Amino acid sequence: MSADAREALRRLTAAFEEHLGAVASRRGEDDAAVDDAYESLAEAFVRYEEALDLEYAETLPVLLDEDFDEEAIDGHAEEDDEQLDDDLDDFDLRQE
């Protein structure tokens, strides 16, 4: 793995750790630290996936929400449960 992809992976791992810490110490429903950690995690994911694609033409078996926008992330946006269920039904990692 090249230095760029390795660094992107290191940052992604750190972002997961920060997100878990923020969630575990949440100070209410609208805790800005959780929103910030969510945003950092999403950005780190995108950067890692981009590094994999550029360096190895490889992708990840994980998808971000199709409405993800790097410029306007809202970790507590209302979700449409029916749409989420439909998305999960369409996404199946098992090979038949």
Written as one string, the DSSP assignment of 28-96 is: STT-HHHHHHHHHHHHHHHHHHHHHHHHHS---S----TT--TTS--TT----HHHHHHHHHH------
Is the pLDDT score of 96 beyond 90? no
Q: Is pLDDT of 7 > 70?
A: yes
pTM of the model: 0.65
Rounded CA gap, 15 and 59, in Å? Answer: 19
For residue range 35-94, list pLDDT tens digits in order. Answer: 999 999 999 999 999 999 999 999 988 887 765 555 544 444 454 556 555 555 555 555
The rounded radius of gyration (Å) of the Cα atoms in the chain is 15
Q: Which token pair is 94?
A: 């098992």
Domain residue spans in the chain? 3-90
pLDDT at 32: 94
